[in-house]
Amino acid sequence: REMKVFEALTIHTLPARLSTYPALQDRIGNDGNHWKVREVGDGNLNLVFIVEGDSGSAVVKQALPYVRLVGDSWPLPLKRSFFEYHALMRQEARHPGSTPEIFHFDAVQALIVMEFLSPHIILRRALIDGQQLPKIANDLGLFLARTLFRGSDLSMTARGRKDDLALFADNAEVCDITEALVFSEPYYDAPRNRHTSPQLDGIVAQIRADRDLKVEAQRLKHLFAASAETMLHGDLHSGSVMVTPDETRVIDPEFAFYGPMAFDVGMLLANFWMAYFSQSGHEEAGSRETMRTYLLGVVTETWSVFRAEFSRLWRTERTGMLYQVALFEEQGDILGAEQALDHVLHQIWVDMLGFAGVEMHRRILGLAHNADFETIADVDTRAWCETKALKLGRHLAVNRRQIYSIEEVNSLAELIE
C-alpha cells in the first residue's frame, strides 16, 4: 500500500491512498468511501486538503516538487515537508498547544496529516475584516520567546543544538528563496518583482538608488544567512497564524532553519504594521479608527510579552553552554546575568527592526505580496497605504540603531505621510 515514489494527491485519489492508515481511520472514519475531500490551499507552495468522515476530520498538506504560485518552471525540493514536520514537533514541545496536532507524516509523499483547525481563520483575513482578536499578542509573544529561547544555545545542550543545526541546514533551497526575495530582489529591477504602478514608480526608483538602505539590507542578509542562533519558524507572517477569539495556532513552518532570533520577531511585527497601514483601504469614514489603535497595541504587547517571557526563561531556564549560571548566579552575581540579558535583548531589538523594515519592502516591491494591500480595490488608496509602509520600512532598516522604544516606532507609523 505504500507508494515508493512521490505522486501528488487529488481530491479523487486521496481516500483510496490514505484510508488504509489506522491512525487516519481512527481520526476520520474507517470507510474511505465516506470521506469528503476538498482542496483549500491558498498558499504559494503546497496542496492543502480538508478531509471529513464519519468520525472526524483532518487536514492533509502535501508539498509539490515546484513552487505552486509560479509552476514547474521553479522547482523546489519535497524535503521541505520533512522540515515542516520536524519544526512542528519542536514548536509543540517548546510551546505546547501552539501548533495543530500531527497525526501522520510520510516523507516519500511529502505529506503531513494534522488536526483540522476549525472554526479558526487565518489571522491576516481577520485583520483585513477588522476583527480584534484579544489574545494574539500574548500568545504570539510567548510563542516567539519560548521557541526562540528553547531552540538556542541558551537552553539546549551543545550537542543537541549542533545536531539540529545540521538537520535543518539541509533546508537550504527555501532559505535561498528568502535570501533572494526578502533581502535582494526588492532593491533592484529583478524579473519577479512587481509594484503598484505608476503610483509607486517614483519611490521605487528612490529605494533602488538608496545606498544606505541597500547596504543595510545586505547586512541583514548576512545576519540571516550566517547567524545560526536558533530554530526559526522562518515564515511567521499573519498568514501563518490561525485564530479564534480565544485560540492562536501557528502553522506552516516549512521555512524552518537555524537563523537569527530577531528574524521571526521582525517579520511578525512588520505584518502587524502593514495591517495597520492597510486599514484605510478597508474603511468607511473613520470606521477603522479603533482597529488602528488595536493593531498598534498588538505590536506593543507582542514585543513586551516577548521581552518579559524571554527574560523569565533567561532567569529560570538558562541550561545551555552560553552565559552559564556558574559564572553569574552561582557566584552571587545576579547583576552580571542581568547585564548579559540586556545585551542579548538589545541586539534582538536592533536586528528585529531591520528585519521588519525589509519585510515591509519585499511585500510591496517583490514577488510575494500580501492580501492586506492587494485587496484594496482603489489603486490610488492602495499606493498611498503602501507608500507609508515603504517609508517606515526604510527608516527602520537604516536607522534601527537610533530607535529606542516600540512606542517610538508606533508614533512614527501614525505620523508618516
Q: Say how far apart CA 55 and CA 8 lie, in whole Å.
A: 25
Residue 327 near residue 289, CB atoms below 8 Å = no
Q: Say how far apart CA 306 and CA 309 lie, in whole Å.
A: 5
Nearest distance from C-beta of residue 64 to Mg ion, angstroms:
11
Q: How is the chain split among helix, strand and coil, in percent rounded to 5?
A: 55, 10, 35
Residue in 3, 16, 40, 321 binding ligand ADP, rule: CB under 6 A? 40
Q: Which is nearer to Mg ion, 28 or 76 (CB)?
A: 76
Q: Which three cell numbers stand for residue 326?
A: 556558574
Q: Which does 365 bind (CB under 5 to 8 A by kind): ligand ADP, Mg ion, none?
A: none
**Sole window of 110-118, 167-175, 183-191, 383-391 interacting with ligand ADP (rule: CB under 6 A):** 110-118
Nearest distance from C-beta of residue 73 to Mg ion, angstroms:
19
Residue in 32, 43, 141, 186 binding Mg ion, rule: CB under 5 A? 43
Nearest distance from C-beta of residue 141 to Mg ion, angstroms:
21
Would residue 45 be called left, alpha or beta, if left means φ above 0 and alpha means ψ between -120 and 50 degrees? alpha
Q: Which is nearer to Mg ion, 147 or 300 (CB)?
A: 147
Rule CB under 6 A: is residue 100 a binding residue for ligand ADP? yes
**Sole window of 54-62, 91-99, 236-244, 308-316 interacting with Mg ion (rule: CB under 5 A):** 236-244
Nearest one of 298, 228, 237, 243 to 265, comparing CA atoms: 237
Phi, psi of 107 (to 5 degrees): -70, -40
Exposure on the CB side of residue 86, measured as CA atoms within 13 A: 22
**Sole window of 17-25, 36-44, 382-390, 408-416 interacting with ligand ADP (rule: CB under 6 A):** 36-44
Residue whose cell numbers read 512606542 = 407
Q: Which does 76 bind (CB under 5 to 8 A by kind): ligand ADP, Mg ion, none?
A: none
Peptide bond into 96 cis (omega under 30): no
Burial readout 303-321 (b: 16 or more C-beta within 10 A, e: otherwise): bebbbebbbebbeeebebe
Rule CB under 5 A: is residue 253 a binding residue for Mg ion? no
What is the DSSP secondary structure assignment for residue 39, as one 8-state letter?
A: E
Residue in 113, 122, 137, 250 binding ligand ADP, rule: CB under 6 A? 122
Q: Say how far apart CA 413 and CA 280 lie, in whole Å.
A: 13
Nearest distance from C-beta of residue 59 to Mg ion, angstroms:
12
Nearest distance from C-beta of residue 146 to ligand ADP, angstroms:
20
Q: Say how far apart CA 396 and CA 403 lie, in whole Å.
A: 8
Rule CB under 5 A: is residue 141 a binding residue for Mg ion? no
Binding site for ligand ADP (CB under 6 A): 40-46, 48, 59, 61, 100, 114-117, 122, 239, 251-252, 254
Binding site for Mg ion (CB under 5 A): 43, 45, 239, 252, 254
